[in-house]
Chain A
Amino acid sequence: MTQLMTEDGIRCDGRRVDELRNVSIKVGVLKNADGSAYIEFGKNKILAGVFGPRDVHPKHMANQDTGILRCRYHMSPFSVTERKNPAPSRREIEISKVIKEALLPALILKDFPRTVTDVYVEVLQADGGSRCAALDAAAVALADTGIPMRDLVSACAAGKVADRIVLDVNNEEDQEGQADMPVAMMPSVGKITLMQLDGILTPEEYKTCLKTAIGGCKRVYEIQRKALMEKYFQNGEQ
């Protein structure tokens, strides 16, 4: 078992307990998609492409009153140490669902009845916390389409490693740590739209962990905003 934290609180990848991995986001990286984004979150490399609002196929899925959102989170076979079977696993289907439900509160789909907005997320390389990174990219890609949104959605995990609450759990810490709590929120509205937990926390640790994750979401939010500004303001576009 690798040592997850030194005595002076330095983690296995050299970070302090409250430090985020390096995050960079690029907006509008795909030509065909209506909106797209590429994120590097530590060693995670993830692409998000959004199509829509567009006609719904199959037609019976269409809703007269509102647009619908579909989400697919998928990991490339080469994204992890052991080759992953390309067929969607139960884990990927569950993550697709929680990502969809995390994005829905931010979207104003009522203006687009009988349409669908498709969000496709491809994890090219995975490194722990991929659902949060995927969600961060998906939210930016949605914003890139110009679809009306109440807020961005920013995600970041916190967890418990070597009896301490840490921000942004990496792969080793996820495997061997004590708890992992992915959180997504609409930072301006202050609403939590995704939350999961694996691992044992006391009620006090639960509160600290949630607070820590929210702090991470707010830092990610700034990076998402900057990425969008870069595309839409510095190139002179509207």
Chain B
Amino acid sequence: MNLGSVILDQLKRDKIMDLLKEGKRVDGRALDEQRPLSIETGVIPKANGSARVRLGNTEVITGVKIQPDKPFPDLGDKGILICTAEILPLADPNVEPGPPTEEVIELARVVDRGIRETEMIDLHQLVLQEDKSVIGLFIDSSILDADGNLFDACSYASVAAILSCTVPKYEIKDDAPVLVEGVTSKAPVKTLPVSVTMARIGDYIIVDPTAEEEACMDARITITSNSEGNICALQKGGSDGFAVDQLIRCSEMALSTGTKIRKRFEQLT
């Protein structure tokens, strides 16, 4: 890191801190306010489901591909669900092509965990022949433009893409899955997961941090809730910690923000 950027970082941090003391943020939002969210579905007709999400200046496109697959050996009565994420090199000047970094692996696993642990999709309904053949949902997110809080942007795009997807029908013939032309159904969705990421800067907790805010945050937490208002997945990140009462407050903020975002998802169903 060169000296110039360090000084700039310190100035930015001071500015962000000064504003937080007055309950304000650089972009004029309240501490618990998300950036404007836009969700557009069906953007990639060749995918079984897709969505493009903009959360402020962060932009993600997610596609769902559905194909028959062998089940995992110990999970023969469940279909397959895999979420991945990639920060495309065109999304961020600091990202280079190559094997995924720790940060990207964490991102993909946190998005996956949110959708898996809420049990959004009834995987039992995706079994064609127990222990032999199941339907797999592959939910791949590409970050097109990175301006912080990739966790929520990827999660929202993944959920929206799943809600928009049409599942082709397969039948087992001679022990092999065969596509039944012209018959599709909706994905078996049981609940709507909403991921909410918060950053701690000093003693302040802010919802939906931008890249600038992330650069000076002390710690981060992502909490995913389901439609029933339960907490289903959580991940703390960043190089410092949280006090216990902050963690309780974060869970409450995640639930209240979750309710608002869930209404947006309900409009898609």
Contact = CB atoms under 8 A, between A and B. Distances in A.
A192 B102 contact: no
B105 A195 contact: no
Contacts of B119: 200
A192 B236 contact: yes
Interface string B54-86: 000000000000000000000000000000000
The secondary structure that dominates the A interface is mixed
- Which of B6, B229, B237, B252 neighbours the largest number of chain A CB atoms within 10 Å of its CB? B237
B202 interface: no
Interface string B104-130: 011011000100011100000000000
B62 to A, nearest CB: 19
- Which of B105, B108, B229, B232 neighbours the largest number of chain A CB atoms within 10 Å of its CB? B105
Taking residues whose C-beta sits less than 8 angstroms from the other chain, chain A's interface range is 35 or more
A90 B234 contact: no
A93 interface: yes
A146 interface: no
A97 B108 CA distance: 14
B241 A186 contact: yes
B7 to A, nearest CB: 12
A98 B237 CA distance: 7
A56 to B, nearest CB: 14
A210 B105 contact: no
A155 B40 CA distance: 42
Taking residues whose C-beta sits less than 8 angstroms from the other chain, chain B's interface range is 35 or more
B130 to A, nearest CB: 16
B64 to A, nearest CB: 20
B243 A190 contact: yes
Minimum-distance CB pairs A-B, first 3: A197-B234, A191-B241, A193-B241
Given A191-B241, A192-B244, 13 more contacts: A64-B1, A93-B102, A94-B106, A97-B237, A98-B235, A190-B243, A191-B240, A191-B243, A200-B119, A200-B230, A201-B230, A203-B231, A210-B248
Interface of B: 1, 6, 102-103, 105-106, 108-109, 113, 117-119, 221, 226, 229-244, 247-248, 251-252, 255
Interface of A: 63-65, 90-91, 93-94, 96-98, 101-102, 104-105, 181, 185-186, 190-203, 206-207, 210, 214
